[in-house]
A = this chain, B = another copy of it.
Amino acid sequence: MLTDLFTPSVQHWLDIAGIFVFAISGALLGVRKNFDVFGMAVLAEVTALGGGLFRDLVIGAVPPAAFTDLGYFLTPLIATLIVFFLHPEVERITAAVNAFDAAGLGLFCVTGTVKAYGHGLGLTQSATLGLATAVGGGVLRDVLAHEVPSLLRWDRDLYAVPAMAGAALAALLLREDALHGPTIAVPVVTACGLRLLAMHFHWRAPRAWHRRSAAAEEEATRG
């Protein structure tokens, strides 16, 4: 269980931090989509809590943490108010928001993996659910906001891969029984660092081969 890895209060505040930054990204999308303040709050809640809610439903941890811990529920509302009143200022620090989002990604993929493993899932499945915890909220956010999920788009910097790496590393450490207290920082920092590098160097994933060869043919025809 998570409580064996961290002191509960440290774990709790790490979770709150991740929830807060994800909620900011949800509320900002609400502003960009021209939603009202309640729409912003819904997007903030869904982005911040959706991934963990899915994880808890899958492992049978009901009621999910999102509905038992009042802080989890109130944090996105605070994030919504901040974006509502300080929206231009928040937009201006997009780089900072992205860095926080990377931190949230790193944190959620690891805590999701650990929680799933603690509920008896296999290592591969735990890592998968850790990945789903980290990216699920963003997918729900985009679906509700009527956008193509940015997770799926080829023209976005790698997002799933860093989370995958962090979740896989956490699973490996769990298998070696080497994930205690400070070592949990290793997969978190790995995922967060890879995401920051992916944003900085605009790392992209390849699309199916046909597309590229078709484009090459087109160029050859033109030339």
| Chain A interface (Cβ < 8 Å from any Cβ of B) | 30-31, 33-40, 42-43, 53, 57-60, 62-64, 67-68, 70, 73, 83-85, 87-88, 91, 119-122, 124-125, 128-129, 139, 143-149, 151-154, 160-161, 204-211
Contacts and interface: CB of A to CB of B under 8 A. Distances in A.
B31 A211 contact: yes
Contacts of A53: 58
Interface of A is mostly: helix
Q: Tell me the number of copies of this protein.
A: 3
A217 to B, nearest CB: 12
Contacts of A122: 68, 70
A145 B210 CA distance: 19
A25 B128 CA distance: 21
A31 B210 contact: yes
Contacts of A62: 57-60
A37 B73 contact: no
Contacts of A34: 154, 207, 211
Given A84-B209, A143-B143, A70 B125 contact: yes
Contacts of A84: 208-209
